[in-house]
C-alpha cells in the first residue's frame, strides 16, 4: 500500500469538493484528510471503510490497487 498513490487517489476523487466538506461527512478533521491526501498518513481501517463508502468505491480499489486506477476508471 503506497501512501503517496493512495493520497493521489483521494485527492482525485475529492475533485471540486472542499476538504472541509469531505472531512465533515466522514467525521474527521480537515487536517487529517489533508495528511491522507498528501500521503503523510494512512487512514485507520474504519476511516478506510468510510472513505470507500463516501466515494462509492471498494476498499480494495481505493487502497490496495497496484494500478493507477480508481473505482474502475483510469486516472
Q: What residue numbers bound the domain in which 42 lies?
A: 3-69
- Residue 52 falls within a domain, yes or no? yes
Model confidence, pTM: 0.86
Tell me, what CATH number does 62's domain have? 1.10.260.40
Q: How many domains does the chain have?
A: 1
pLDDT band (50, 70, 90) for residue 70: low
CA angle 18, 22, 7 (to 5 degrees): 85
For 42, phi and psi rounded to 5 degrees? -110, 135
Question: pLDDT, tens digit, for every residue of 52-64?
Answer: 999 999 999 899 8
Amino acid at each position: 500500500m503506497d501512501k503517496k498513490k493512495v493520497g493521489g487517489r483521494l485527492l482525485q476523487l475529492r475533485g471540486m469538493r472542499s476538504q472541509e466538506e469531505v472531512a465533515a461527512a466522514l467525521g474527521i478533521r480537515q487536517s487529517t484528510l489533508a495528511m491522507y491526501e498528501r500521503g503523510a498518513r494512512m487512514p485507520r481501517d474504519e476511516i478506510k471503510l468510510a472513505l470507500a463508502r463516501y466515494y462509492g468505491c471498494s476498499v480494495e480499489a481505493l487502497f490496495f490497487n497496484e494500478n493507477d486506477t480508481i473505482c474502475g476508471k483510469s486516472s
